[in-house]
Structure 1
Amino acid sequence: MIRLPELLAPAGSPQALHSAIAAGADAVYLSGKRFGARKFAANFDHTALTEAIDYAHLRGVKVYVTVNTLIREEELLDLAEYLVQLYDLGADAILLQDLGAASLARQLVPDLERHASTQMTIHNLPGALYAAQGGFNRVVLAREVTIEEIERWGQKMEKAGLGLEVFVHGALCYSYSGQCLLSSAIGGRSGNRGMCAQPCRKPYVLMHGRKDEYGRPVGLQAVAQKESYIISTRDLSVYRHLDKIVRSPVQSLKIEGRMKSHQYVAIVTSIYRRALDGIARGSWSPSKEEERDLALAFNRDFTSGHLLGAKDVMGRGMSDNQGLLIGSVASYDPQRGEAAVRLCASLVPEKGDGLVFQSPGQEMGLVVQKAIEKDGLVRLRTPDRVRPGARVFLTGSTALARRAEEIAARERASIPVDITLTWEDGFPVAEGRLDSGELAVARGESRMEEAVNRPQTPEQIESQMRKTGGTPFVVRKVEMDYPGGLFSPPGALNQLRRDLLAGLEKAVLEGRRPASDRIREAKDRLQKLELPARRAGEEWSRPKLSVYADRLDILKGAVEGGSRRIYFEPLMEKGRKDRDRIETILAQLLEAKKLCGKAELIWKWPRITRDDFIDLALPLLSQVQVNGIMVENVGPAWAIKEKMPEMPIYGGSGLNVWNHLTAQALAPQFSWLTLSPELSSHQLKDAASALRALPGRDGNPKLELVVQGSLEVMVAEDSVPQLAKGRSSEEFWGLQDFKHIFPLKVDDEGRTHIFNSAETCLIDLLPEICRIGLDGISLDARGRTESYARQVTGAYNQAIERTEKLLATDPAPLKEGLLDLKARIQPLALGGITHGHFLRGLKD
């Protein structure tokens, strides 16, 4: 028998939960009203969550609760209470992004399973091993991980006791999950808080030009593109290749869609359920009809995704539901306002269906009111004129919706029960026993009397006891010691049956919840939880100034401007032989060390570090003369510590450090950590203050904030500028929406990085930053020039000197001087300047 992975379905609402279970899901994932990464789904309040978990457990289905947003310092106590509440309710697992939240869960509810959300951006083997070492039971891998990588990791995952979960169907993010700040930067709605506005689904214009001496664009021109949705992906569907996924070490197959309708959940889950059952029987092959229904449920055109090495992940032609092509317009009758559609598929539109007519320069949708079919043509009234040749897509099917409702209405009777009936002094007593050992007993409320005319037969009594509709139970057998000749109103036996089944439900649910003493222990731990008090006062510190550089000339400018630490991300030149790449890296780091002089040199690794990069870079650690390594993901940090424990590691903003518990969790690996750019000054101060308040503070990582530069808002396995067949460091590429231009960069491994349209500049707020008590501030000069790095670094050094000298004694001239420095560097900025979230924070 083939080992089947779990089928995990989305439940964004109670209706979707019922549909997923009826359709055959082994487990569902859902969210409460807080801390879930789909804030705009219906979700579940406390009462609904209690009912949802009970409903699922009674039908043998697991419930995983998403707690996968990043957590602010002031939310930690509320989160702690919520985690204990979920444990008490019997949640089977929680999904987490925030490492501080994971640490808190491990402390309070250690036997509640923890799953690492895809928002943790785990995309390499060391990252998975880090999760296993950190007590996670399962990792939801980044969607960019391939099945070949998963197969290579299989034995190590089994040895580590770590399950692997992958997405198999639904929407894809353009960026690596957990690394997307585009919605946050544009409108303050952060995907890390469940509020993504999906700017990747908007149209953009690809812009190209040259860079001036400061790296700013000049001579910008639009690059003609056939398609406008440049960063919109297709939808994932591995249905056709499901047997290959089943044979891999994957433990769980996840369907995306907590924002989708319950009908979508019913159709998609049922199709994957039938496929998995067919694979288990050894008799499955992909069905064209099932693929058609998956497309009708919702699609932006399908791809098998990075998981299966597809090259067609992008769907730049459109960003909404494409539906299914069913024909084209043969003619249009303007008198009748009627289009004749020649069908190319077996589907005939019916009343209530949604259609879209597409032709160059025109897209029109309608709901079918009446359709007349004759001789392969369907005649439809349209609100506007449509052109002959226009393609017609079915985007909403009433027939499919009816089928979805039929699926959702099924009762999943999954628990067999054996019933034994006896009579004690004329009172019927029913005992129900389950295979899992649970037992319940119910006693009739009234005595069965001697029958005058028609005594009840054993067959009639058994028939009454077998009526379990609306419950998860199915009666397997009924045994009775019936004396005969008795009568009871049907309602009395019905009540006996209901009491018995209620007792069995209670027994089942108690068996799925933690034992009462374990719940009491968790609540005691919550009562004793002590979070460090946030200090009301200010803690002034002079921050150390660091600069990010990706070319030697930029590094030189930063050092000349007075930077005492350089985070250098050298050219990697993927595509060349490893030996040549190694020589290039070593040569650049050697030259960088010479240029740094007394300044520290930190070798910065890419934000995305796949296994091949780690395998290439790790052996070089013993050959390079650097003061540390900077990484932006837990995987390479784990690998470096295994290889060279004494190497100092610096954490970039990709680690999403929002609170002191996250910093504390990373302390064993990291010497320095960069706080998230999504935090406000108040939230930064709370986190820094809480970390300082911990005992043994000298062992905690030092904290830094990026105060200048273009914020990276996306990183994706896509090469947008390669659409125009060109790429060099002297060229500028960008995406223009209706108002702004977002700079682009394609790195040496072919990934696209997108940056905010306005450059972060906090130089005028340096006094507030110093009062937070940070140990360092940094400027990001990557992609700019030597002149930019020199002048901006020099300006910040002057700002630090002035702040230290005048803050306590003469704040008015200090403010004026900082504004002068800001005015000096503002013209050098890329696309204007912004305070980012420092003053106002995110919208939630």
Structure 2
Amino acid sequence: MTTGHCPELLAPAGTWDCAKAAVENGADAIYFGLDRFNARMRSQNFTEADLPELMAFLHSRGVKGYVTFNTLIFPQELAAAERYLRTMMAAGVDAAIVQDVGMCRLIRHLSADFPIHGSTQMTVTSAAGVEFAHSLGAQLVVLARECSLKDIEKIQQQTKDIALPLEVFVHGALCVAYSGQCLTSEALGGRSANRGECAQACRMTYDMKVDGELIDLGDKQYLLSPQDLSGLPVLPDLIKSGVSCLKIEGRLKAPEYVANVTRVYRQALDRAWQENGTNSAIKSGTNSAMKSGTKNGTNSATTPTPTEKLALKLGNRPISYEPTADERYNLEMAFSRGLYTGWFRGINNQELVHARFAKKRGVYLGDVERVTKHQVELKTTIPVKAGDGIVFDSGHPDTDQGGRIYGVEQRGRNICLSFGKHSMNLRRVQPGQKVWKTSDPELEKTLRQSYRVEQPAVQQPIDIEVHGVAGEPVVAIATDPQGHIAQAASEKVLETARNKPLTTEKLQQQLARLGNTPFKLGQFTNQLADGLIVPVSELNRLRRQLVEQLLEQRQQPKVWAMAVERSHRDLLPDPAETPSNPATLVPLVRNGDQLRTVLQCGLTTVYCELENPVHYRAAVALTRELNPRAKLYVAPPRITKPGEQYILKQVRQSNADGYLVRNYDHLQFFADQPCIGDFSLNVANPITAAYFKTEFGLEKLTASYDLNVAQLMDLLTSAPANWFDITIHQHMPMFHMEHCVFCAFLSEGTDFTNCGRPCENHDVVLRDRTGTDHVLQADAGCRNTLYNGVAQTGAEFIPRLMDQGARRFRIDFLNESPTQVQQILTCYQQLLNGDMTGHQLWRTLKLSSQLGVTRGTLERH
């Protein structure tokens, strides 16, 4: 995909003040949620009734507004979701940011042109994901935060035929898990991240047990809490990659944060764009332009432009951007757990997570050198003044001391800080502790003033041209960057001047007086005949009319096509009759001993997930040997990034009976094979289910783990029940991460090339604050999954699910022994046979000393 435009800067807004802060500090667009169906339900959100006024305000300022419609939608919510979508379209919203595949289908069913932006919750990490979003009718897709610059460039190259614009997060909090694939809040508290209710378990403390022993990690307690993302140092590389939009995270943040970060990136983006001469997508655009010029044989085409010369000079070399001291200070004061370039420069597990704290720290001042009864002495180059907030970092955030500075005294090269009486316990402050500046009231005041203004602080250029001859009115025409055009004519005609005729300079000066409007004069063209004059009052009236017309046009809602006669019901599949075949168990195993056990139990369908796909061939052979009637479906890793097709080839070389597909690459790569859709496809409603079933011919679909039993029953009612696998027993896969905990804390390496592969030699669990041990496992892509240490069962709901037509019940094993596997299978088989109740099964498994079991998420919400 090539572009001749500077990337759009997209800022978050949870409130009106945030929206104004973004607009007045240079955002090209904002994104915001409504009071339902958005992934930040804990934030303040706009309402449907706010939409007309909000969109009129944004469009009057030349700013776009995108609604975050980025949660999974449950069956009973489809009608409400349709109403929301129609309201958005009628209000002229510029796009909906969407996670749910079914909602993409519904939008395109209702409207041929209303823009869809594929959310980062869709977990798009490859060209196949971009193509999938394009096939759903998306006009843009937000890539997963885990994509590096190299990944982005590969994706751009591999999707150049469809040229779908790409958006990336450039600043803000990093989720440690892949968005759309985090089930931690769901597993631990029934609050789904896929429903906008993330409980931020990644920001909690964890202990690490290796081979059964707790290990001492010193002051590293926050093992899953990444530093905050700052793409500022790689800004020119992001421009060079051809991404269309740079997104700032922060819908839960205050307007001061929005103002601060938006202003920094606006100024930096403009500077980087101008300094690097980027007027086209440098890399791909240059090559195509040069080839085209050579082919056409024209001299002008074969002579590189300055931009093309720059691109040829840069090649694949990273382009550095050195943030200014003010930029670094402002971003750290806005909110910082430490700022880092995330995954843009590739994987560095030693730097991504420092693990020392998970709350805002701000700007590092220095280390404590001396503590007296009333003062703390340190050396710093950062300005500090009375009223600033600071915190002393003891290495144990729960006991850190912090507060407001009362006085600052210079002592040689050092400063001495004093504090209000009883505001801080200085006896707990020790030499050597790090000191952080967490608050700057003066900066915060300046930021508030930036958006609490009566006249626009950011103005867009409008081009004005004037025409006229003697005896005729002056005609002025204005155009804005969005393509609106206004025309006004003077009431008085032009006359021949006796002296001081109108000059271009005088006209331009008069028409440029746009100070209290959203506009500034761009290009001015004077087409008046020479030697003419008209009263200045007429020019002022022309200017006011042009502004009024442009604003009126801008504030009109965009008109999207909307099929009134269509409905979500048109997309619903026909529910099939309740099947009469007996219910069966479908186990998923994760090692050879478990596989051998389930095969000996006589089960005819088995799923298998191994860390190393090379071992799948042996698993297939074992299945053929022990139970020739059994079908073995093997699972590729959940994420596929550019360059990882070799892993899928290894999986396919096993010649398994079928494959458990988990992402868009799998749908494409295994299209000609028998496939089962796994839970990671996030099938939560019948429209999504019908799309995967009919478009890709999947044999079965695993129902989303976000559904409780009532919602699951609704799904089985609204789509054929025999389409679904129902996972009835499992250790919930909570975090699925690019971050490798094995590498970060059991080696000194940065990634798989130099870590020594501790994942192959050690068993690791992470113990949370409740004392529960959660199992950590790596996959072939060196990604980690943290599984809930307590298995959950939905045994008590099986009779109701069977009455609704469910027949395949999936049991996912993790690290159970063969004896435990056999016990669990026996209990569930007795339940299906009517020889045991769900309550008895739950009690039986719960009482087993080695099997922690909870009733789990099916009963929650």
For residue 804 of structure 2, the aligned residue among 766, 772, 775 is 772
Q: Which residue of 2 aligns with 1:296?
A: 333
Letter in 1 for 2:230: S
Within-5 A mapping of 1:252-271: 252-271=245-264
Residue matched to 2:368: 329
Q: Give, in angstroms, the shift of residue 128 of structure 1.
A: 2.0
- On the 8 A contact 1:206/1:225 being kept in 2, the answer is no
Could you tell me which of 594, 605, 608 is aligned with 1:554?
Answer: 594
Change (3 A) 1:402 1:830: farther
Q: Which moved more, 1:228-237 or 1:433-442?
A: 433-442
Structural mapping, 1:227-626, within 5 Å: 227-282=220-275, 285-289=321-325, 290-311=327-348, 312-334=351-373, 338-345=374-381, 347-359=382-394, 362-375=399-412, 376-381=414-419, 383=423, 384-385=425-426, 386-408=429-451, 409=453, 411-416=457-462, 418=464, 433-434=478-479, 436=483, 438-439=485-486, 468-474=514-520, 501-510=547-556, 513-514=558-559, 518-519=560-561, 521-526=562-567, 530=570, 532=572, 542-572=582-612, 581=614, 584-618=615-649, 621=652, 623-626=653-656
- Rounded to whole Å, the distance in 2 between the matches of 1:737 and 1:538 is 45
CA drift of 1:824 comes to 3.2
Corresponding residue number in structure 1 for 2:700? 672
Cα distance 1:775–1:432, how it changes in 2: closer, same or farther (>3 A)?
A: farther
Deviation at 1:778, TM superposition (A): 0.5
* 8 Å Cα contact 2:699/2:723 also seen in 1: yes
For 1:298, give the aligned amino acid.
Answer: F
How far apart in 1 are the matches of 2:334 and 2:609?
45
SS in 2 for 1:82: helix
One-letter identity of the residue aligned with 1:569: E
Shift in Å, 1:794:
2.1
What SS does the aligned partner of 2:67 have? strand
Instruction: Indicate how the Cα distance of structure 1 residues 250 and 339 shifts in structure 2: closer, same or farther if over 3 A, else same.
Output: same
Q: 1:242 to 1:496 in 2, by over 3 A?
A: closer
- TM-score normalised according to structure 2 size: 0.82
Please give the per-residue CA displacement for 1:377-413, whole angstroms capped at 9, x wherever unaligned: 2332152213344332111123432442354345222
Alpha-carbon offset, residue 464 of structure 1 = 8.7
Count of residue pairs the alignment pairs up:
774
Tell me whether 1:634 sits opposite 2:660 in the alignment: no
The residue type equivalent to 1:167 in the other structure is: F
1:121 positional shift: 1.1
1:415 Cα deviation from its structure 2 partner? 4.2
Which residue in the other structure is 1:451 paired with?
Answer: none
Please tell me whether residue 659 in structure 1 is matched to residue 685 in structure 2: yes
Structure 2 residue aligned with 1:714, among 735, 739, 755? 735
What amino acid sits opposite 2:109 in the alignment?
Q
Distance 1:260 1:366 in 2: 21
Q: Give 1:754 deviation, angstroms.
A: 1.2
Give 1:278 deviation, angstroms: 2.1
Sort the Cα spacing of 1:502 and 1:771 in 2 relative to 1 into closer, same or farther, 3 A: farther
Does residue 1:834 correspond to 2:834, yes or no? no
**Separation in 1, partners of 2:359, 2:717:** 45
Matches within 5 A, 1:174-253: 174-209=176-211, 221=214, 223-253=216-246
Secondary structure at the aligned position of 1:350 is classed as coil
Contact 2:211 2:762 in 1 (8 A): no
Cα distance change of structure 1 residues 620 and 320 upon mapping to structure 2, 3 Å threshold:
closer
Give 1:179 shift: 0.9
Contact 1:3 1:280 in 2 (8 A): no
- Give the percent of matched residue pairs that are identical in Structure 1 and Structure 2: 28
Q: Structure 2: 5+ residue runs without aligned partners?
A: 277-319, 494-501, 748-757
> For the residues of structure 1 that align with 2:217 and 2:463, how far apart are their CA atoms?
67
- Cα 1:497/1:542, change in 2 over 3 Å: farther
Aligned partners of 1:764, 1:602: CA distance in 2, in Å? 27
Aligned to 1:523, what secondary structure does the other structure show? coil
CA distance in 1, matches of 2:580, 2:69: 35
- Give the AA of the match of 2:203: R
Alignment of 1:3-152 (within 5 A): 4-152=6-154
1:214 corresponds in structure 2 to none
| Alpha-carbon distance in 2 for matches of 1:127, 1:466 | 48
Structure 1: gaps of 5 or more residues = 211-219, 449-456, 574-580, 803-813
Q: Residues 7 and 828 from structure 1, CA distance in 2 versus in 1: closer, same or farther, beyond 3 angstroms?
A: same
In 1, Cα distance between the equivalents of 2:486 and 2:845?
A: 76
Conserved? CA contact 2:7–2:245, under 8 Å: yes
Amino acid at match of 2:584: K
The SS at the match of 1:306 is coil
**Inter-partner Cα distance in structure 2 for 1:616 and 1:681:** 36
Shift of 1:251: 2.2
Shift of 1:707: 0.5
1:217 maps to which residue?
none
- Equivalent residue letter for 1:714: F
Alignment-mate amino acid for residue 523 of structure 1:
V
CA contact (8 A) 1:761 1:834 kept: yes
TM-score (norm 1): 0.83
Q: CA deviation at 1:368?
A: 2.6
State whether residues 37 and 71 of structure 2, in contact with CA within 8 Å, keep that contact through their aligned partners in structure 1.
yes
| Deviation, structure 1 residue 183 | 1.3
Q: What per-residue deviation string (whole Å, max 9, x for no partner) do you get for residues 306-341 of structure 1? A: 22114111131110112112233343342xxx3143
- Kindly tell me: are residues 537 and 24 of structure 1, through their superposed partners in 2, closer, same or farther at Cα, counting changes over 3 Å? same
Of the structure 1 ranges 131-140 and 162-171, higher mean CA displacement relative to structure 2 is found in 131-140
Distance in 1 between residues matched to 2:38 and 2:186, nearest whole Å? 16
Distance 2:252 2:728 in 1: 36
Superimposed CA distance per residue, residues 822-841 of structure 1 (whole angstroms, 9 cap, x where no aligned partner):
3333344866222222223x
- Any conservation in 2 of the 1:432–1:504 contact (CA below 8 Å)? no
Aligned residue number for residue 452 of structure 1: none
